[in-house]
Structure 1
Amino acid sequence: MESALEEIEFLALSPNRVETLRLLAESAHTRRELVEATGASQPTLGRILSDFEERSWVERDGSDYRATVTGRLVSRGFDDLLDVLAADTDLRPVVEWLPGDAITFDLRHLTDATITTPSRVRPNAPVQRAVDLLSDAERVRVVSYALNEQSLDVIADRTAAGEQTFEGVVSAAAVDALADDSQLRGRLRDLLGAQGAEMRVVDDPIPVAATVADDVVHLFLRDDAGILRASLDVASPAVRTWADDLFDRYWADADPLTVDQV
């Protein structure tokens, strides 16, 4: 373990070492090409290549250098570690609100996610982010414990105009909350009466609030008290597959919701 940690430290202390090994793992390069690609000086690059040869991470063929099998393995492993740490750094501010029991995909797929949090000047920023995504989407699928007024308005208007198709699975509690407000009940009835819109309802609680807007997956993140703390959205095929599978599971067990039931 100690020797492995020493090798990690050896790489981590020099971005030039990391980049040189990555380049050589991809294809053969001359020393001149490596100097141009990394910006390292000739003496620095010479020491890097010498250290790599000593570890059997690279081999020389004439004027070309290339990574060995173990060199490629180390490069891939170090890149994986960087991805994990990047995901941890990005998600650290909101990780406590992620629905951990429901998320089954590798969190590294959230490295490029857009995280939106409320602020004093934009307290509704997470909801507005969802509305912005819904306003541009042609196909929307929702599985959620709630449906907020702003999203409902956008979905109802766009489906009525034939600009969007909508499928939603919501909890019975969410439907009750909308039906208790006369204005929201009217909007829900508008949505249920629109062509291209279909909703189903489940009695059991839904642990997530997930929206698939075309290729983007959006999640609302709430704390244990139900307070909206943030949202995140990402255009990742792996996360999209997870969200579609989640939706399909709830959809299969849900009952149709019609205008007459609201």
Structure 2
Amino acid sequence: MGTLNNGSPIDDIGYLSRSEHRIPMLVSLTDRPRSRSELCELNEVSSSTARRTLSEFEDRTWVQKEGYQYVATRLGEAIATGMEDLIDLFETERKLRDIWHWLPDEVIEVPTETWSELTVTLPEPDSPYRPVNRFKSLLQQTNEVRYLRPEVALMEPCFDALLSLIDAGVDMTLIDRPSCHSYFITTYPERSLEMEKRDNFTVLEHDKLPQCGIGLLETRVTISCYEQDSGSVQALIDTDVPAIREWAESTYASFEIDARPVTPEAYME
């Protein structure tokens, strides 16, 4: 015990992180007592590796033996929870680092402890539309849609879902750029005209919108990050963090004041 205490906290963090099985094994012992054979199967390690790891955990007072089973102590539970939180933080940070330059200052400045409450969806080589699909799934769970800067790349794949919401009586207001509105009017003239006739659907235009799209759904705020030249969706962030909701509501309202109503006929002349 004394030898172990001669090291630093960094040494313990290094010990846990040097082998992929150590943190999962400690976490699994916070659920309930488990035998060594069960731990071997859960963590896909040999009996000798499990025996050595459990002995090292016991030396640190992270686990204790109860009969033929092992269970985490309160110290072990605290370490397991802390390491899980740290891993969650790094997982979110790894997603945020590539889109950091797109994010508004108000989002960057939220407390880091709320980062785990941000769902960050990025494209992947075999699934380039993951952000759009995430947005589409959120649309299926809302009874309200207000969107500031709904770019074509985000909204066109969701067109049918948006129409279904409008048909269901969901209130929807979009504040977009003239070029975006023009695209939908000229590409889908009949459906656009039909949508414009609905009392629960409003389109407003604004010439100077923020870099990111901001969506206000019933229970979630979405932030869509667009590639500047192509307008493709590089990431979608959604969250229910109150501070971000407050910022999104305020930002939306500030642009809504200066936005102007438009009619499809103006683009079809």
State the shift of 1:3 in Å.
1.1
**What are the superposed Cα offsets for residues 86-141 of structure 1, whole Å, 9 maximum, x if unpaired?**
22333444333333434547333456x4323899xx9xx66993798299747452
Matched, 1:142 2:150: no
Q: Which residue matches 1:116?
A: 123
How many aligned residue pairs are there? 251
TM norm structure 1: 0.68
Aligned to 1:71: 76
1:243–1:212 distance in 2 versus 1, CA, 3 Å: farther
Asked if 2 retains the 8 angstrom alpha-carbon contact of 1:142 and 1:247, the reply is: no
- Select 1:107's aligned residue among 109, 112, 115: 115
Assess if the C-alpha contact under 8 Å between 1:21 and 1:71 holds in 2: yes
Partner of 2:19: 14
Listed as ranges, the gaps of 5+ residues in structure 1 are: none
The 3 A distance-change label for structure 1 pair 181 and 91 is closer
Partner of 2:225: 221
Corresponding residue SS for 1:194:
coil
CA RMSD of superposed structures (Å): 4.6
User: How far apart, in 2, do the equivalents of 1:141 and 1:74 lie?
Assistant: 42
Contact 2:92 2:115 in 1 (8 A): yes
Give the C-alpha shift of residue 247 in structure 1: 4.8
User: Does the CA-based 8 Å contact 1:141-1:247 persist in structure 2?
Assistant: no
8 Å Cα contact 1:115/1:233 also seen in 2:
yes
Q: Please tell me the residue identity of whatever aligns with 1:34.
A: L
TM norm structure 2: 0.67
Are the aligned partners of 1:144 and 1:209 in contact in 2 as well (CA < 8 Å)?
Answer: yes
Alignment partner, residue 165 of structure 1: 170
CA distance in 1, matches of 2:31, 2:202: 49
CA gap of 1:127–1:164, structure 2 versus 1, over 3 A, is farther
For 1:195, the equivalent position in structure 2 comes to 199
Task: Summarize the Cα distance change of 1:37–1:79 in structure 2 as closer, same or farther, 3 Å threshold.
Answer: same
Identify which of 49, 73, 77 aligns with 1:44: 49
CA-CA distance at 1:56 after TM superposition? 0.9
Tell me the SS of whatever aligns to 1:15.
coil
Deviations 1:131-156 (A, max 9, x none): 98299747452332354398379379
- 1:232 alignment counterpart: 235
* 1:52 partner SS: helix
- Describe the shift of the 1:139–1:117 C-alpha distance in structure 2 as closer, same or farther (beyond 3 A): farther
Give the superposition deviation at 1:9: 1.1
Please give the secondary structure, in 2, of the residue aligned with 1:142: strand
- Which whole-Å deviations, capped at 9, do the CAs of 1:153-207 have from their partners, x for residues lacking one? 9379826971563422526xx25874799848x7876544313214567797445
| 1:144 partner letter | L
Identity %, equivalent residues: 19
Structure 2 residues not aligned, in runs of 5+: 1-6
CA–CA separation in structure 2 for the residues paired with 1:68 and 1:127:
41
Write the distance in 1 (CA, Å) between the matches of 2:118 and 2:31. Answer: 25
Distance 2:115 2:13 in 1: 22
Q: Is the 8 A contact 2:33 2:69 kept in 1?
A: yes
Aligned residue identity for 1:238: D
Secondary structure at the residue paired with 2:173? strand
Q: CA deviation at 1:58?
A: 0.9
- 3-state DSSP of counterpart to 2:106: coil
